[in-house]
């Protein structure tokens, strides 16, 4: 594409796209000429422009031959639709008069059209504002954003020795791959965070994403569609306001926020979710400590390689000798900012080559200025805090504390901080200051600790300091592990009698300080955690900080010498709360991650870690054994690794931990764990079964990924020679199914030999194979199956039939069923257990002995461990073979103390009949069956064979059981759901029964805490009121609901349920429902109406009245207009949307405020109300949302135009009311904007 400023031919700008793209829009054609006029340009001026002196411009004739476009852009014109038509007609007349007809295409852009075009490209907006002398404060388009970059022309040196780490990557990415991934992520509207120490090249990497000269697989992002800000520049508007504006405008761009704290990133990411994947977000920060939202991709950048630092120095500083470059490179340790700062001090070639580190540091600090001891002391004192308040200079301020330590006056300190800021050694974010980069700040802080008495530092920054100062001080200390003074201070603090030595006595700040200082002396920190771990409450979930301690323990476990102790405490944490949830904060997940062969975060050797796992497995303690199994499983993982913790720990050198880099490393890692699983797996125990299961499940990946095929093959043969191993068979079959085509003929034969060796051949082994937890349909367990010819359903049916046949065979083997029974009636039993039971039931004439043995096991089993799928299958098969015998057993079961607790389970797999109804009814009345059993009545159309009267009797009885109310509601809802297959008489009878049951319901018990209660109750009432609206039974239900809503027993969640339940009444019998709900009087309204129809000040959530037809609502209000219209104004649907009003969508909670209009109901209420002022005042109270996300000021601003709709007839009496309301809203908006801006600056300004 060529864009030319072209005066030849008489046009200002010519755009030629070759080859043509068929472009359209604001650029209407592949060949377009623009005539730019900075004036109002009426139709009378157009002939003189297009046909000067009566001759059509040559450029226009040329456009006609290429079928191009000619556009006049008048930047000071502002046309209406009709005025635009006049201008376009004038342009067409010029063409026609010169024989050109309809070619070229013509266009006229006024100021609004040009502004709309510009606003589609935020970077252009920033450029235009800058050209106009009204720049966006702190916002820049694509330019040289990075440190010491003044243009975009500098070459970006691709440093593929540097690694960039993401949480989901097994190893670091090189920079080229990172650029590709970032370009892909941002083009899809992702939220991206780039972290790394100051000076490692984060901002330059972001700049490279838009640089077309940086070649990668993915094309560079558009330089026209990016906005950049550095929060240390104090941007206005703040990033969240900018992002909201971009989303509102529908912009498609990338927003880059440098020096962005985690809180700001979190808020921006939340806002980004509403952008429809149009806007990409990049935030840049040096701090990697903070947690990130799930929607964020985080990239952690390491320092540059020595080669790149050398190239950068040689390119920018020609005065440097080779030895100077080498000296600076070694000293900077990959930090380009430090390298540039040091290089800028050089005036003579070779002058740095022989300087010691201390001398280099002085040169770096003082730069080309005269050495100043006051400046150095101030910098040292300021570095003691991670960041400090640079504006408050009151008596107890942080500035005063720093001045006291530096032994200078407050004014002197302020001057020195400004000087440091000029030298690039202090950064500013709002009122906060921080000495950076960290490499300099840490060295300065260490020097301060050496020079200042410990007692003075502790007194100033701890004893007499705020929590913020103590926390900031502790963060700095955490980076000073090489400082003897810092180590001495931490030993004192973490000693048994020290300030932070008793971790169980710390408050939240104390815990945070401990984690900050732990890197100084991992040994001392580990000892402190070990002491606390002797107190049970510290290990249990009573300690809300247990996950933080687990992450710190994992970081300490990096060193081999600390691994065993740290891992053992993690085990104790895990044992203290075995029911915890999974995820990043799970102690078990953190513990498991130590036993991955990659991304483990520990340098403990394979033998050390395998020994630890062995001790767990051989402990004899079931819970420790379970943790050992989890660790063993993790150790045998071969290909999918994720990190659950960061790999940083203060300023200590850290990595992802030991990882196998050679064939011998792979052997050293996996073989100890394979031998461990093999040794235990040969035994006969639950632990051995679990080890065999793990090894079988990992078999395929071990075979495919590790190059240990001979060793794995030998292990398989060794274990198969001792025990039956169905899990191993599954493992080999999975290799045959998924990887056979990758194997040569000899390996294929080897696999088939192993498969035949492992295949279960005896009936007991075949049954155990079928009873394994995981489904194995994909592995073709039946030799004669043709998987390609079968559907999934056919394969499942065939498999179930095969299991049923195994059950028939098992019934003939003495003692087998009794041996398998504990597994068969466990909660871990799978669907195959049912079909096995069917086969047994069909084969055994009298399975009473099995049922007796099962009953005995159930009676002594731990609660929650019993599953009766097998017994349900057994009853099914028995009933099929001998219905009378099975029914006789069930008759006795209803009065048996054990079986009655499972009475519905036992009935689920046999036909429901009158005998079943009688037994179920008897069990309910006896009250010995837990209520949850009767949930089964709502499954599988169990009640279809019962009459409506019988269903009513069962449900009425269920409501009397403890926890029976919720069961009653769910079962009744399912009965109603299944009524569609019945005749009208059944439905009429069921509707009457529903209302009778609900009329006598105890609502507190029926509604419970179930999230689905509202849906179920509304569906029941909708079904019933369609048939029996306005009946006495319906009114009784409504009265009961309203009465319950007025009681203290009605919970907050119950109120939402009741609002859903009220809707069918208002839909089918609105007048009688309104008469029942509404009680005149302010106090009565607040007490009674809020819980029933929704809060009167709710702005977006629909009230129950939204279903009432508008004409019916107005007619009802007219019966008592003085009070009912006010009630309706408080309760009616206030807002609708332009796009959805006709579609009758009820919930508009997710609609943007710009789409809102005043609803038809609200306008009708206002139009008919005798006191319109009172109605408007009610509406205005609902204009301000009771809860919101994002900017309240922006929400209110979008709602101001809605005020105009409230003056329907332009009535004079309403004008002052609405004017006052508008002024009030505008004042509120201004105040909110000020508050939001201050809050945003406070939030974005922090370094911590």
Question: Based on the domain organization, do 1055 and 1174 belong to the same domain?
Answer: no
Strands 226-230 vs 253-258: parallel, antiparallel or unpaired: parallel
Q: Would you say residue 214 has pLDDT above 60?
A: yes
Q: Is residue 599 part of a domain?
A: yes
What is the pLDDT averaged over residues 184-201?
A: 85
pLDDT for 1084 beyond 70: no
Q: Which residue has the higher pLDDT, 1064 or 1091?
A: 1064
- The neighbouring-strand residues paired with 385 are none
Span 88-119, pLDDT tens digits: 999 999 999 998 988 899 999 998 899 888 87
Write out the H or E segment, with its range, that includes residue 521.
none
Q: Of 1094, 1123, 1144, at which residue does a domain stop? A: 1094
Tokens 């010691």 belong to residue:
356
Domain-embedded: residue 857: no
What is the structure's pLDDT at 476? 96
For the ranges 286-300, 418-432, 922-936, 1037-1051, the lowest mean pLDDT is seen at 286-300
Per-residue model confidence as pLDDT tens digits over 341-352: 778 877 666 667
Asked if residue 1015 and residue 1051 are part of one domain, the reply reads: yes
CA 1134, 1139, 1141, 1143 torsion-angle sign: negative
- Nearest Cα neighbor of 39 from 125, 141, 111 is 111
Strands 105-109 and 69-74: parallel
* Same domain assignment for residues 382 and 294: no
Residue 747 lies in a domain: no
Q: Which residue in 959, 929, 997, 909 sits closest to 919, CA to CA?
A: 929
Give the pLDDT band (50/70/90) at residue 1155.
confident
- Determine the average pLDDT of the residues in 319-331: 82
> What would you measure as the largest C-alpha separation in the chain, in angstroms?
115
> What is the four-CA torsion angle of 668, 672, 675, 680, rounded to 10 degrees?
-170
pLDDT at residue 784 tops 50? no
Comparing 478 with 3, the larger pLDDT belongs to 478
Instruction: Pick 786 or 257 by higher pLDDT.
Output: 257
* Domain identity same for 420 and 362: no
Residues 440-489: pLDDT tens digits? 899 999 999 999 999 999 999 999 999 999 999 999 999 999 999 999 99
Same domain, residue pair 426 and 543: no
Assess whether 326 and 454 both reside in one domain: no
My answer on whether 134 and 24 are in the same domain is no
Give this prediction's pTM.
0.75
Q: What is the mean pLDDT of residues 958-976?
A: 95
Task: Return the pLDDT at 159.
Answer: 72
Is residue 773 pLDDT above 60, yes or no? Answer: no
Residues forming a β-bridge with 192: 282, 297
- 727-739 per-position pLDDT tens digit: 999 999 999 988 9
Using CB atoms within 10 Å of the CB of residue 399, give its burial: 0 to 12 exposed, 13 to 18 middle, 19+ buried.
buried
Q: Is residue 162 part of a domain?
A: yes
Model pLDDT, residue 314: 86
Residue 799 falls inside a structural domain: no
On whether both 1099 and 1088 belong to a single domain, the answer is no
Exposed/middle/buried for residue 141 (C-beta within 10 Å: 0-12, 13-18, 19+): buried
Cβ within 8 Å of residue 1245, ≥6 positions away: 231, 429, 430, 431, 432
Instruction: Give the pLDDT of residue 479.
Output: 92
Q: Say if residue 1064 is in the same domain as residue 1040.
A: yes
What pLDDT, on a 0 to 100 scale, did the predictor assign at position 278? 83
Tens of pLDDT along 40-96?
A: 999 999 999 999 999 999 999 989 888 899 999 999 998 888 889 999 999 999 999
Task: Reply yes or no on whether the pLDDT at 1101 is more than 70.
Answer: no
- Among 421-430, 613-622, 952-961, where is mean pLDDT lowest? 421-430
Last residue within a domain, chosen from 263, 284, 303: 303
138 and 269 part of one domain: yes
Does residue 831 lie in a domain region? no
pLDDT tens digits, one per residue of 645-679: 888 898 888 888 999 999 999 999 999 999 999 99
pLDDT digits (tens, 9 = 90+) for 974-986: 999 999 999 999 9
- What is the model's pLDDT at position 1031? 93
CATH value at residue 215? 3.40.50
Using alpha carbons only, what angle is made at residue 981 by residues 979 and 985, rounded to the nearest 5 degrees?
65
Q: Are residues 1086 and 1151 in the same domain?
A: no
Cβ-proximal residues to 264 (8 Å cutoff; 6+ apart), any chain: 231, 239, 240, 257, 283, 1240, 1243, 1244
Per residue, the 3-state secondary structure of 370-409, as one string, reads: CCCHHHHHHHHHHHCCCCEECCCCCCCCHHHHHHHHHCCC
What's 397's domain CATH number?
A: 1.10.10.10
Which of 271, 287, 303 lies at the terminal end of a domain, its last residue?
303
Q: 1094 Cβ partners below 8 Å, 6+ apart? A: 1059, 1101, 1102, 1103, 1104, 1131
The number of distinct structural domains making up the chain is: 7
pLDDT for 251:
83
Is 882 part of any domain? no
| pLDDT (0 to 100) of residue 411 | 95
DSSP 72: E
- pLDDT at residue 1073 is higher than 50: yes
Q: Calculate the average pLDDT of the chain.
A: 88
Average pLDDT of 506-524? 97
**In the structure, what pLDDT confidence band is assigned to residue 805 with cuts at 50, 70 and 90?**
very high
**Could you read off the pLDDT of 124-165 as tens digits, one per residue?**
887 787 777 777 788 999 999 987 787 888 888 777 677 787
One domain for residues 261 and 203: yes
Do the domain assignments include residue 265?
yes
Full residue range of the structural domain in which residue 437 is found: 372-477
Percent of the chain surpassing pLDDT 70 = 92
Q: Please say if the pLDDT value at position 582 is more than 70.
A: no
């Amino acid at each position: 594409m060529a864009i030319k400023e072209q005066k030849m031919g008489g046009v200002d700008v010519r755009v030629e796209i070759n080859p043509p793209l068929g472009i359209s829009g604001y650029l209407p054609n592949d060949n377009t000429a623009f005539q730019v006029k900075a004036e109002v340009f009426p139709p009378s001026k157009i002939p003189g422009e297009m046909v000067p002196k009566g001759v059509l411009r040559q450029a226009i004739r040329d456009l006609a031959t290429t079928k191009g476009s000619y556009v006049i852009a008048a930047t000071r014109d502002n046309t209406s639709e009709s005025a635009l038509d006049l201008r376009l007609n004038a342009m067409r007349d010029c063409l026609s008069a010169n024989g050109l007809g309809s070619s070229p295409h013509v266009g006229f852009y006024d100021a609004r059209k040009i502004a709309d075009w510009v606003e589609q490209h935020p970077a252009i907006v920033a450029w235009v504002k800058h050209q106009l002398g009204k720049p966006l404060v702190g916002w820049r388009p694509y330019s040289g954003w990075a440190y010491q970059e003044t243009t975009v022309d500098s070459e970006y040196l691709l440093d593929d020795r540097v690694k960039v780490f993401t949480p989901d990557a097994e190893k670091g990415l090189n920079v080229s791959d990172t650029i590709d991934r970032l370009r892909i992520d941002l083009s899809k509207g992702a939220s991206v965070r780039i972290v790394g120490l100051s000076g490692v090249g984060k901002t330059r990497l972001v700049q490279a994403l838009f640089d077309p000269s940086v070649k990668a697989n993915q094309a560079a992002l558009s330089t026209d569609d990016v906005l950049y800000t550095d929060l240390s520049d104090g941007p206005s508007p703040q990033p969240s306001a900018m992002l909201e504006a971009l989303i509102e405008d529908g912009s498609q761009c990338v927003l880059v926020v440098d020096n962005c704290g985690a809180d700001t990133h979190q808020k921006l990411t939340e806002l980004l979710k509403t952008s429809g994947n149009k806007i990409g977000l990049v935030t840049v920060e040096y701090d990697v400590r903070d947690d990130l939202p799930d929607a964020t991709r985080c990239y952690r950048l390491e320092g540059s390689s020595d080669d790149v630092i050398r190239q950068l120095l040689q390119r920018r500083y020609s005065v440097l000798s080779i030895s100077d470059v080498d000296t600076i490179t070694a000293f900077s340790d990959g930090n380009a900012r430090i390298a540039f700062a040091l290089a800028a001090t050089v005036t003579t070639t070779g002058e740095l080559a022989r300087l010691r580190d201390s001398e280099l540091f002085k040169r770096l600090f003082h730069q080309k200025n005269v050495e100043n001891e006051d400046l150095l002391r101030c910098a040292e004192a300021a570095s003691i805090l991670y960041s400090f308040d640079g504006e408050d200079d009151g008596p107890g301020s942080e500035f005063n504390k720093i001045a006291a330590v530096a032994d200078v006056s407050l004014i002197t300190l302020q001057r020195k901080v400004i000087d440091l800021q000029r030298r690039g050694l202090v950064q500013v974010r709002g009122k906060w200051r921080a000495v950076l980069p960290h490499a300099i700040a840490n060295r300065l802080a260490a020097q301060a600790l050496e020079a200042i008495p410990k007692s003075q530092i502790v007194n100033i920054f701890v004893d007499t300091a705020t929590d913020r100062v103590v926390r900031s001080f502790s963060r700095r200390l955490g980076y000073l592990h090489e400082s003897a003074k810092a180590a001495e201070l931490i030993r004192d603090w973490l000693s048994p009698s020290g300030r932070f030595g008793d971790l169980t006595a710390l408050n939240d700040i104390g815990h945070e300080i401990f984690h900050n200082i732990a890197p100084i002396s991992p040994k001392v920190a580990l000892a402190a955690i070990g002491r606390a771990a002797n107190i049970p409450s510290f290990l249990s979930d009573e300690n809300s900080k247990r996950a933080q301690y687990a992450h710190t323990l994992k970081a300490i476990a990096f060193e081999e010498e600390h691994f065993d102790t740290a891992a053992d405490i993690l085990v104790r944490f895990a044992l203290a709360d075995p029911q915890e949830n999974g995820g990043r904060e799970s102690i078990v997940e953190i513990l498991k991650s130590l036993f991955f062969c990659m991304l483990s975060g520990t340098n403990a050797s394979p033998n050390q870690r395998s020994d630890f796992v062995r001790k767990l497995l051989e402990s004899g303690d079931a819970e420790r054994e379970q943790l050992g199994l989890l660790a063993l499983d993790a150790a045998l993982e071969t290909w999918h690794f994720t990190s659950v913790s960061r790999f940083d720990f203060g300023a200590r050198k850290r990595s992802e931990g030991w990882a196998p880099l050679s064939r011998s490393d792979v052997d050293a890692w996996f073989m100890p764990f394979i031998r461990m699983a093999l040794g235990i797996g040969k035994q006969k125990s639950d632990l051995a079964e679990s080890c065999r299961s793990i090894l079988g499940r990992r078999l395929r990946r071990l075979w495919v990924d590790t190059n240990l095929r001979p060793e794995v093959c030998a292990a398989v043969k060794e274990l198969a020679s001792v025990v039956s191993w169905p899990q191993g068979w599954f493992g080999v079959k999975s290799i045959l199914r998924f990887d056979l085509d990758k194997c040569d003929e000899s390996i294929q034969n080897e696999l088939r030999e192993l498969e035949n060796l492992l295949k279960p051949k005896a009936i007991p082994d075949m049954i155990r194979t079928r009873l394994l937890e995981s489904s194995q349909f994909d592995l073709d367990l039946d030799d004669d199956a043709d998987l390609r010819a079968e559907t999934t359903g056919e394969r499942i049916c065939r498999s179930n039939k095969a299991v049923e046949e195994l059950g028939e065979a098992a019934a003939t083997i003495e003692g087998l069923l009794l041996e398998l029974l504990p597994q068969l009636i466990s909660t871990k039993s799978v669907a195959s257990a049912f079909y096995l039971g069917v086969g047994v039931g069909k084969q055994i004439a009298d399975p009473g002995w099995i049922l007796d043995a099962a009953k005995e096991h159930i009676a002594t089993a731990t609660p929650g461990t019993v599953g009766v799928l097998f017994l349900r299958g057994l009853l099914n098969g028995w009933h099929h073979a001998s219905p009378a015998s099975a029914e006789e057993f069930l008759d006795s079961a209803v009065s048996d103390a054990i079986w009655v607790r499972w009475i519905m389970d036992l009935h689920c797999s046999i036909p429901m009949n009158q005998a079943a109804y009688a037994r179920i009814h008897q069990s309910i009345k006896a009250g010995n069956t837990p209520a949850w059993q009767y949930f089964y009545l709502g499954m599988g159309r169990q009640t279809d064979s019962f009459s409506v009267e019988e269903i009513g009797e069962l449900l009425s009885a269920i409501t009397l059981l403890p926890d029976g109310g919720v069961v009653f509601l769910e079962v009744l809802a399912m009965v109603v759901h299944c009524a569609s297959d019945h005749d009208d008489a059944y439905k009429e009878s069921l509707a009457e029964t529903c209302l009778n049951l609900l009329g006598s319901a105890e609502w507190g018990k029926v509604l419970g805490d179930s999230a689905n209660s509202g849906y179920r109750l509304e569906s029941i009432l909708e079904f019933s009121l369609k048939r029996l609206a306005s009946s006495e039974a319906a009114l009784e239900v409504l009265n009961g609901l309203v009465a319950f809503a007025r009681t203290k027993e009605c919970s907050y969640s119950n109120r939402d349920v009741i609002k859903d339940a009220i809707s069918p009444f208002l839909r089918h019998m609105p007048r009688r429902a309104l008469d029942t709900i509404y009680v005149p009087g302010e106090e009565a309204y607040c007490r009674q109406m809020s819980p029933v129809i929704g809060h009167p000040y709710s702005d977006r959530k629909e009230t129950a009245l939204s279903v009432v037809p508008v004409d019916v609502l107005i007619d009802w209000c007219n019966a008592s207009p003085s009070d009912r219209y006010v009630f309706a104004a408080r309760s009616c649907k206030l807002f609708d949307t332009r796009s959805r009003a006709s579609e009758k969508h009820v919930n508009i909670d997710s609609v943007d405020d710009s789409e809102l209009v005043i609803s038809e109901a609200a306008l009708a209420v206002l139009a008919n109300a005798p006191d319109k002022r009172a109605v408007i005042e009610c509406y205005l109270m609902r204009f301000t949302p009771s809860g919101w996300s994002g900017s309240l000021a922006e929400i209110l601003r979008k709602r101001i135009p809605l005020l105009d709709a409230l003056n329907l007839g332009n009535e004079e009496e309403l004008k002052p009311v609405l004017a006052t309301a508008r002024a009030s809203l505008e004042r509120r908006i201004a105040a909110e904007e000020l508050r939001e801006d201050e809050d945003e600056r406070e939030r974005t300004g922090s370094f911590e």
